[in-house]
């Protein structure tokens, strides 16, 4: 039996042989993101120790992408790409926004919550934001979540302070909240749940982002989660428990969706902003590199999608997808037109669930300003990945479909393939630079990483 997409303002049945959907209300959408969670930091992706029953459940009820990527090896750029569908240097958030500076997500960018709000959705953001510099957060004259389409927001500028325990730096709709008792992920989940149950406009479908702080340091873990790992070192108890703490918070949200009879009409996506930090216990699952790298360990992340009745449950898919694709995919799901007045790098990835090859105008591309010099830039096309240094003068070539640990550099043995990939990489970078606010990174005063010539 042939499969059909039913596009428009109503839901479309997808990837279910023999499934026919009657038009119903528009879907609710939740985009969940962990902070510094590696590809190997969950039972869902093969970790033999860490307990993640709710992520396991999400995967069982949906699809697990085994080659899902963030758009950068660090935080802020990856987040900006999800909201805009545009690679970070194109949308302007080219670096992580931990200190003082000019960089922020500009209002000239079109974010998906803005588009969903115009289409009749109610919108909410919960958790980390990290799309303004430290000196700009909750200050007049700078764009905050409400400037980018969120009706309601509960957020921190960057990390939970002083740690995940009893954070005191949350802002709710421009008003400081003060110290909260408890741990960050459950607190974020409770705020999101309260909005689902009481705060939102129930006459409208909703879209919300839930961006947890866990397992980013400074880590603090409720003892009930660290005690799940009695035979581990103190560091591992804290880190593994921190992942379980976040998983528990996700489970709370999934539970309320069931209780409110919302699960069947809610699309959930779960991912991470970048790879793990090994010094605190993070695990890349055998991939080369970690956070800050443009090798796979810094950018390949968990990526789960659940939409009951619309995608086949308990399946795996090895199609390479990236954070920018979330933007285009959810707009397609809701029947909202993708902007045509600018370059949108992301594509709708749902056809991949039906075995179709995704057609990309812009290849998968990464540039991470705090990476080591040797892997500052990377690009993937089909099975092939080229990795370049900061000055784009030295290159490595990998077949990452076969060589997922990037152990076999083919640059010298396959010069023709290297040259074609190099030409496309240089073309892609030139195109991105031509649109981005290059004055921001060219004026950067932070010294280059050790061994690098460029600091962007």
164 is catalytic: no
Q: Which residues contact 183 (CB under 8 A, 6 or more apart)?
A: 164, 165, 220, 221, 222, 245
* Burial of 196 from C-beta contacts in 10 A (0-12 / 13-18 / 19+): buried
Residue 310 annotated in active site? no
For residue 25, give the DSSP letter. Answer: P
Residue matched to tokens 């779960």: 270
Q: Report the alpha-carbon distance of residue 127 to residue 81 in Å, rounded.
A: 17
Check 75, 96, 125, 216 and give the catalytic one: 75
Report the distance separating Cα 146 and Cα 125, nearest Å. 9
Token couple for 48: 């033999």
Q: d(Cα 74, Cα 97) in Å, to the nearest integer?
A: 10
Q: Could you tell me which residues come within 8 angstroms of residue 305 by beta carbon, excluding any fewer than 6 positions away? A: 62, 63, 65, 267, 268, 269, 270, 311
Q: Which of 125, 117, 275 is nearest to 199 (CA)?
A: 125
Which residue has tokens 């005690």? 227
Q: Are 445 and 369 in contact (CB under 8 A)?
A: no
Which of 96, 104, 125, 130 is flagged as catalytic? 130
Distance CA(226)–CA(224), nearest Å, equals: 6
Q: How many CB atoms lie within 10 A of CB 133?
A: 21
Which CA distances in Å does 421 have to 69, 295, 363, 410, 435? 19, 16, 11, 12, 22
Distance CA(91)–CA(77), nearest Å, equals 9
CB neighbour list of residue 5: distance below 8 Å, 6 or more residues apart: 12, 14
Among 254, 341, 260, 285, smallest CA distance to 57 is for 254
Residues 6+ apart with CB under 8 A from 437: 92, 106
Tell me which residues are annotated as active site.
75, 130
């Amino acid at each position: 039996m042939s499969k059909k997409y039913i596009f428009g303002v109503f839901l479309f049945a997808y990837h279910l042989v023999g499934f026919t959907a009657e038009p119903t209300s528009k879907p609710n959408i939740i985009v969940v993101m962990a902070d510094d969670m590696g590809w190997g930091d969950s039972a869902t992706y093969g970790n033999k120790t860490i307990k993640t029953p709710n992520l396991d459940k999400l995967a069982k009820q949906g699809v697990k992408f085994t080659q899902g990527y963030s758009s950068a090896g660090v935080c802020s750029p990856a987040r900006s790409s999800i909201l805009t569908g545009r690679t970070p240097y194109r949308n302007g958030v080219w670096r992580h926004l931990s200190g003082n500076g000019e960089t922020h997500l500009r209002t000239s960018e079109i974010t998906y919550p803005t588009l969903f709000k115009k289409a009749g959705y109610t919108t909410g953001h919960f958790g980390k934001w990290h799309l303004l510099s430290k000196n700009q957060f909750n200050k007049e004259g700078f764009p905050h979540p409400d400037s980018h389409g969120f009706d309601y927001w509960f957020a921190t500028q960057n990390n939970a302070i002083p740690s995940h325990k009893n954070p005191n730096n949350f802002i709710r709709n421009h008003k400081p909240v003060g110290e909260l008792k408890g741990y960050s992920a459950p607190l974020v989940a409770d705020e999101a749940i309260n909005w689902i149950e009481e705060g939102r406009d129930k006459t409208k479908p909703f879209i919300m982002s839930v961006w947890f702080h866990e397992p980013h340091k400074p880590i603090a873990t409720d003892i009930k989660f660290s005690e799940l790992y009695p035979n581990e070192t103190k560091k591992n108890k804290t880190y593994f428990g921190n992942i379980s703490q976040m998983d528990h918070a996700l489970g709370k949200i999934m539970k309320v969706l069931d209780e409110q009879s919302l699960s069947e009409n809610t699309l959930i996506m779960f991912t991470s902003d970048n790879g793990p930090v090994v010094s605190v216990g993070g695990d890349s699952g055998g991939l080369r590199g970690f956070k800050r790298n443009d090798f796979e360990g810094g950018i390949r992340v968990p990526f789960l999608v659940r939409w009951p009745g619309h995608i086949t449950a308990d399946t795996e898919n090895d199609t390479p997808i990236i954070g920018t694709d979330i933007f285009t995919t959810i707009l397609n799901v809701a029947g909202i037109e993708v902007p045509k007045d600018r370059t949108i790098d992301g594509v709708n990835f749902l056809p991949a669930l039906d075995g179709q090859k995704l057609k990309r105008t812009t290849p998968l591309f990464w540039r991470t300003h705090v990476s080591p010099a040797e892997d500052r830039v990377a690009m993937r096309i089909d099975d092939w990945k080229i990795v370049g240094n900061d000055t784009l003068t030295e290159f490595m070539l990998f077949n990452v479909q076969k060589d997922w640990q990037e152990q076999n550099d083919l640059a010298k043995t396959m010069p023709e393939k290297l040259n074609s990939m190099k030409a496309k990489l240089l073309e892609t970078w030139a195109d991105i630079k031509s649109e981005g606010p290059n004055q921001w990174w060219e004026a950067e005063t932070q010294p280059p990483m050790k061994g690098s010539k460029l600091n962007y």
